[in-house]
Chain A
Amino acid sequence: MKLTCNEATTICDKSQYKQASFWEIIKLNIHLILCKKCGLYSKQNGIITKCIEKHKTDLNKQKMCLCEQEKKQMEQELKTKI
């Protein structure tokens, strides 16, 4: 029933992907009441997840292109093989 901090933080990571089991969550919550360090980790882990979500929307927004030069070269190389 008792978790080490290492195990607790692993469950905490799993729960960020909604993949921790019911029992794991219960054990984690008991551990979090008792352990301030993991409590802090858990809180910050949630913040990191938020950061990643933000990052993902940014990734989708940014439109990156190959430069014309690169595309021209690509086209030439491709033409030699057609």
Chain B
Amino acid sequence: MSKEKHQLSPDKWVKLHADYLYNFTIGRINNHDLAKDLVQDTFFAGLKAMDNFQGLASERTWLVAILKRKIIDYYRKINSTKGKAEVKMNFYADGEREGDWIEERVPSSWNNEIEKNIENEELSVVLEKCINGLPEKYAMVFRMKTIEQLETDDICKELEITSSNLWVIIHRARTQLRKCMEDNWFKN
């Protein structure tokens, strides 16, 4: 009693899966054109790899697996481009005061209606802007870790970085996000 095998029908891919794949991508890479290109690439790669399709998974699952690979490849490409602007840290990097707060970057108090503010619809928009404002590599690692909730080990393996490196990036990303949200959201 064998289960019915799934079939591929590429002529219906765009109609059936384009929006789904696009949504999947946009949550991970917040850029319309790029997301669109990745979806298109996925379809092309799917065509090429049709012979490898064994019919065990559904067509969509299979396409998503290809897309995931494409997204990781994109991440890797960012990771390998050097010369990204270094962010200013919030801490003294050397001397006697190493690791202490720099006065002008000490967090300032936020107003008391914070909880109410979080329910506001606009929050997402501001937060997304702040994430996009991070250096590309930081934004990428931050999204992988925080939005996609990938395991630390998996991210490190894909990007060929050490876990302490990952935490430094997360730390810098969060420190910048905190500042950005302070300037654009909590301080009014």
- Whether a CB of chain A sits under 8 angstroms from the CB of B175 is yes
- Whether a CB of chain A sits under 8 angstroms from the CB of B124 is yes
- Whether a CB of chain A sits under 8 angstroms from the CB of B165 is no
Main secondary structure of the interface of B (DSSP, over half): helix
Chain B residue at minimal CB-CB distance from A50: B118
Give Cα A56–Cα B147 distance, bound, in whole angstroms.
7
Q: Is the CB of A55 within 8 A of B99?
A: no
| B69: A residues at CB distance < 8 A | none
| A33: B residues at CB distance < 8 A | none
Give Cα A10–Cα B44 distance, bound, in whole angstroms.
42
Size class of the B contact interface (CB-based, 8 Å) = 35 or more
Write the nearest CB–CB distance from B104 to chain A, whole angstroms: 12
- Whether a CB of chain A sits under 8 angstroms from the CB of B109 is yes
Give Cα A41–Cα B90 distance, bound, in whole angstroms.
11
Q: Is the CB of A54 within 8 A of B124?
A: yes
Q: Is the CB of A48 within 8 A of B145?
A: no
| B147: A residues at CB distance < 8 A | 52, 55-56, 59
- Whether a CB of chain B sits under 8 angstroms from the CB of A34 is no
Give Cα A60–Cα B147 distance, bound, in whole angstroms.
11
Q: Is the CB of B175 within 8 A of A48?
A: no
Q: Is the CB of A64 within 8 A of B26?
A: yes
In the assembled complex, 18 residue pairs joining A and B whose CB atoms fall closer than 8 Å, in A order, are A9-B90, A13-B167, A13-B170, A17-B146, A17-B152, A38-B101, A40-B107, A40-B108, A41-B178, A47-B118, A48-B181, A51-B127, A54-B118, A54-B124, A64-B26, A78-B13, A78-B14, A82-B47
